[in-house]
Amino acid sequence: MQYLLLIYDEEQVWGKMSQAEQGKMYAEYGQFGAEIKQSGNHVAGHQLQPTATATTVRLRDGKRLLTDGPFAETKEQLGGFYLVNAKDLDEAIAIAARIPSARMGSIEVRPLVVPQAPKPA
């Protein structure tokens, strides 16, 4: 069977951690990722950028409604996912709007963290 493992934590807690503490967690993630790749369990996984980078997309009466920010409805629940390539946010939003559930629910569009070039010492 396949399972989706969704990671929830307090963004501001992560944000307040020192570089050393974050580095330690990244190392642990690296270790964990390598292990489950080894064991054949890994399919895909990535860190998401914080909710400030999110855009929520809905299609109502054929019109695209965008909201700045993450999904925040109490009546709707997570029902599925797509991981896509897109050249920019406009393309990602256009794809999101084509998802059939965009007509009745909400699609959160969140960019993935792009590995940075290492900063000079």
Shortest separation between residue 42's beta carbon and another protein, angstroms: 26
Shortest separation between residue 65's beta carbon and another protein, angstroms: 9
| Helix residue ranges, H only, 39-119 | 89-98
Question: Considering only CA atoms, which of 114, 95, 116, 109 is closest in space to residue 51?
Answer: 109
* CA dihedral over 68, 79, 110, 20, signed as positive or negative: positive
Which CB sits closer to another protein, 89 or 99? 89
| Of the candidate residues 55, 70, 102, 107, the single one contacting another protein (CB under 8 A) | 55
**Per-residue H/E/C for 31-51:** HHHHHHHHCCCCCCCCCECCH
Q: Does 14 bind another protein (CB under 8 A)?
A: no
Question: Considering only CA atoms, which of 77, 3, 93, 95 is closest in space to residue 43?
Answer: 3
Which CB sits closer to another protein, 7 or 52? 52
| Of the candidate residues 30, 33, 45, 69, the single one contacting another protein (CB under 8 A) | 69
Footprint of another protein (CB under 8 A) = 49, 52-55, 64, 66, 68-69, 86-90, 92-93, 109, 111, 117, 120
